[in-house]
Structure 1
Amino acid sequence: MTQPQDPQRSWPRFQTRKPRILLLTSQFFLLGEIRAACERLGVEHVLLDLQAKEMGLDDFVRTILGALTTFRPDFVLTVNHLGVDREGVLLQILEALDLPLASWFVDNPHLILPAYPRTHADKTLLFTWDADNIEPLRDMGYPNAEWLPLGTDVHRFAPGASGRPDWDADVSFVGNSMVAKVLGRYKAAAPGDELAAKIREIADAFGPADEPSAARFMLGRFPELRDAFLELESPARMLAFETLLTWQSTLDYRLDCVKRLLPFRPMIVGDKGWKDLLAEEENWRLHPEVSYYDELPGLYPRSKVNFNCTSLQMKGAVNQRVFDVPACGAFLITDRRRQMDRLFEPGSEVVTYADPEQIPELVERYLADPAARKAVAEAAQKRVLAEHTYDHRLEALMRTMRLTFEPAAQS
């Protein structure tokens, strides 16, 4: 195996006004937006895309070291730990070079991080889109954890994108049914009979609870299942079961919300799982999934009311749709989340329901009031442009990395 470079040969960091960033990934997820923001902000960067391909250990080390020592970044940035190997080789290299790592989690880190070693934790800064994760991440052994909410690419999600007549709808919902995701995690967890019999009951109770971790919730609320959970033995199966509970809870919640839209004959844009969930219902139509980048910017403005219900992997945070829809100049009704008030002005910039029972009344009210829809959409778009673009998020991330890891700032 090629040995990591001697730390004595590492390079000075944060010597320029804007940091140099090595963007690392194994899936091109959100890195396009971040790279474009780097270019707009004049940030020197290199993208290392490992493309989720298998490579030998020596080749992996050689590739990483080559990129690091040639470009000499101030830090490495990844999303959801994509590109970080689960054996910890990359983390060992960064530790040897004393080079910070920034990882921006836009999915639940508790469903991802347990698969990785905690090597280099003191020089890793975990950014999370959900402020509720900060203290639990620190308790996990990551002292550097900060809130960085989602944002949007206003150069792509903007008014004027082309659409199609079959996208026209009074009410629409864009979202996955979660049917295949639940089945996939069930197969991966392979729970015994005792756990399997309790899945729906646990998921039902987890949904309205404040606890963000389904596993912690289960062990606290259903202590009699501890032995059955431990019998899963492998961390991978335990993590799969926790994810299963989260997805099942999300499925049930999402289905409840969507059923309340049926009086308005909604268009549901999603997977075929909706046909199973709504097999006995008639007042709706299914549109196949659309491209996030190429089609959604044109789809959102074709609906009078865009509807949103958030995944229960995030109990307090808001999701992507809360930024993307108003960026297009379109109107959104979404579920209320604790962190919403830190991002938008309730009532004037965002319309929310605190309970699914409120959905029909809100939809009916705003369908009948185009002027109110327009006012909210315009106010929300103004706020997004002023505070919630990926340029804003990258600037905040760079500022935090400098304050945390710049030698002068730490002395």
Structure 2
Amino acid sequence: MDVQPLRRPPRLLLLTSAYFLLGELATACQRLNVPHHLLDLGTREMDADAFVRTLRETADAFRPDAILTVNHLGVDREGVLMALARDMKLPLVSWFVDNPEFILPLFPKPDAENTLILTWDADSLDAVRGLGFTKVGWLPLGADPERFRPGRPGRPEWRARVSFVGNSMLTKTVRRLGAAQPGPELLSAFASLAGDFAASGERNVRAFVAASRPELLPQLDGLGVVRRTAYETAVVWRATLDYRLSCVLATLPFSPLIAGDPGWKDLLQGRQGYRLHPEIGYYEELPGFYPQSEVNFNCTSVQMKGAVNQRVFDVPASGAFLLTDSRAQLETMFEPGREMAIYKSPEEAAELLARHLADDAGRTRMAAAGRARVLAEHTYEHRLTALIRAFDEHFPNRPAAGGA
């Protein structure tokens, strides 16, 4: 694993929560000797005064150069953290690994000079800039090759020719639509909007509505920011549900093992030829799950029309074979056809499943090439190094480490 050394890494204050990536970032900090401190706010209930006191005491003791969070976790909607960070002259770095367009509008006016937004989806850069941020960069997902590696033990019931790990999006869609409380016209148009949005090249739901169903735009905007964002998210989740279901149906002739939420039982009711498994724990189970399948099948959320998801990195890191749907940004990071197999439609997915299941040696070669690529370019050490370089680029005048 070739990671260029950092000459003077910043001291990073990580705002931690239950989100999986904070642990990976902390581990990468340890491996690269980046000074860091984890401040766990995820399980604490505290008022604004206690929050300010805790953050100031931590900063005084650790003397960080920047605050680092994921998906704006730990950033409050009242703007207390951003005001405090500015007062302490601590830049805020927020790495988005979910759609920033569903999250950032819910927060106060951005502190553009003191905030660096990194997003896993290169297609979202212009949208983030449109929200008022000027320090913006692309930072895709990655893998921890120590956790996801060949030879991890698995369970006998995980053995499968084809497996798919993923959420059905059924409950998520229902909850977001309920939070939106749309009027009758938006509710009636919901399913068709989701289908048309999925088939379009547009990433932004509001822009899609404005272009294709302008008569609905006043009702959408009339929901206000919070409910409108909930409705837009529900459209994307329903579009993902429909797309993901169509892809999973293409795997049924190959007796897939489907690991996910209970929504799959409802969506696949009346179908035959599959096994269902409860959701798989990311840390404890998933590293041993992927190597048990001859083909790990992946279909990406519609919120990522160009970006790739976590499985694209974790499966090859495990030394396992991946068949995934085509995404433009994937071809900038992997070599399709040599490091993983790519399909462009559910129909092609079925053809490729049959082909690769019949080619044991080819799957083995492709899986080994995929892991080699992850080790060379796509570990969290690579991502942390890129994050720090982006920080140095956008905040070139930071003082010596520790605020001295």
Question: What's the TM-score, normalizing by structure 2?
Answer: 0.95
Question: What residue identity is the alignment partner of 1:254?
Answer: R
Given candidates 359, 368, 382, the residue that maps to 1:378 is 368
Q: Does 2:29 match 1:38?
A: yes
Equivalent residue number for residue 224 of structure 1: 215
- CA–CA distance in 2 between the matches of 1:75 and 1:86? 20
> What's the offset of the Cα at 1:408?
7.6
Q: Does 2:157 match 1:166?
A: yes
Given candidates 74, 79, 85, the residue that maps to 2:70 is 79
> What's the offset of the Cα at 1:77?
0.5
> What's the offset of the Cα at 1:374?
0.6
Q: Does 2:294 match 1:299?
A: no
Equivalent residue number for residue 193 of structure 2: 202
Aligned partner of residue 20 in structure 2, secondary structure: coil
Given candidates 125, 130, 139, the residue that maps to 2:116 is 125
Question: What's the TM-score, normalizing by structure 1?
Answer: 0.93
Q: Does 2:215 match 1:255?
A: no
Given candidates 69, 79, 93, the residue that maps to 1:88 is 79
> What's the offset of the Cα at 1:26?
3.8
Q: Does 2:46 match 1:55?
A: yes
Between 128-137 and 215-224, the greater mean CA deviation after superposition: 215-224
- CA–CA distance in 2 between the matches of 1:26 and 1:369? 43
- CA–CA distance in 2 between the matches of 1:330 and 1:308? 13
- CA–CA distance in 2 between the matches of 1:184 and 1:330? 34
In the alignment, is the contact (CA less than 8 A) between 1:22 and 1:48 conserved in 2?
yes
> What's the offset of the Cα at 1:69?
2.3
- CA–CA distance in 1 between the matches of 2:185 and 2:228? 14
- CA–CA distance in 2 between the matches of 1:308 and 1:145? 29
Question: What residue identity is the alignment partner of 1:315?
Answer: K
Question: What residue identity is the alignment partner of 1:376?
Answer: M
Equivalent residue number for residue 108 of structure 1: 99
In the alignment, is the contact (CA less than 8 A) between 1:92 and 1:119 conserved in 2?
no
In the alignment, is the contact (CA less than 8 A) between 1:326 and 1:384 conserved in 2?
yes
Q: Does 2:312 match 1:312?
A: no
> What's the offset of the Cα at 1:16?
7.4
Equivalent residue number for residue 267 of structure 2: 277
Equivalent residue number for residue 136 of structure 1: 127
Task: Determine which structure has greater relative contact order: mean sequence separation of CA pairs < 8 Å that are 6+ residues apart, divided by chain length.
Answer: 2
Between 81-90 and 217-226, the greater mean CA deviation after superposition: 217-226
Question: What residue identity is the alignment partner of 2:74?
Answer: G
In the alignment, is the contact (CA less than 8 A) between 1:257 and 1:359 conserved in 2?
yes
- CA–CA distance in 2 between the matches of 1:228 and 1:119? 27
In the alignment, is the contact (CA less than 8 A) between 2:203 and 2:305 conserved in 1?
yes
> What's the offset of the Cα at 1:296?
0.7
In the alignment, is the contact (CA less than 8 A) between 1:78 and 1:103 conserved in 2?
yes
Q: Does 2:353 match 1:363?
A: yes
> What's the offset of the Cα at 1:271?
1.0
Equivalent residue number for residue 11 of structure 1: none
In the alignment, is the contact (CA less than 8 A) between 1:349 and 1:377 conserved in 2?
yes
Superposed, 1:323-334 pairs within 5 Å as 323-334=313-324
Given candidates 215, 222, 229, the residue that maps to 1:239 is 229
For structure 1, list consecutive stretches of 5 or more residues without a partner in the other structure: 1-14
Equivalent residue number for residue 13 of structure 2: 22
What's the CA shift string for 1:323-361, capped at 9, x where partnerless?
Answer: 000111000000010101110012111210112220110
Equivalent residue number for residue 402 of structure 2: none
Given candidates 169, 173, 178, the residue that maps to 1:187 is 178
Given candidates 384, 390, 395, the residue that maps to 2:380 is 390
Equivalent residue number for residue 289 of structure 1: 279
Aligned partner of residue 67 in structure 2, secondary structure: strand
> What's the offset of the Cα at 1:27?
3.3
Equivalent residue number for residue 177 of structure 1: 168
Between 206-215 and 284-293, the greater mean CA deviation after superposition: 206-215
> What's the offset of the Cα at 1:135?
1.4
Equivalent residue number for residue 147 of structure 2: 156
Question: What residue identity is the alignment partner of 1:335?
Answer: D
Aligned partner of residue 141 in structure 1, secondary structure: coil
Displaced runs of 4 or more, over 6 A: none
Aligned partner of residue 207 in structure 1, secondary structure: helix
- CA–CA distance in 1 between the matches of 2:240 and 2:169? 7
Question: What residue identity is the alignment partner of 2:44?
Answer: K
Equivalent residue number for residue 390 of structure 2: 400
Q: CA RMSD in A?
A: 1.4
Q: Does 2:239 match 1:267?
A: no
Between 43-52 and 304-313, the greater mean CA deviation after superposition: 43-52
> What's the offset of the Cα at 1:295?
0.7
Question: What residue identity is the alignment partner of 1:358?
Answer: E
For structure 2, list consecutive stretches of 5 or more residues without a partner in the other structure: 1-5, 400-404
In the alignment, is the contact (CA less than 8 A) between 1:101 and 1:125 conserved in 2?
yes
- CA–CA distance in 2 between the matches of 1:100 and 1:35? 18
Aligned partner of residue 199 in structure 2, secondary structure: coil
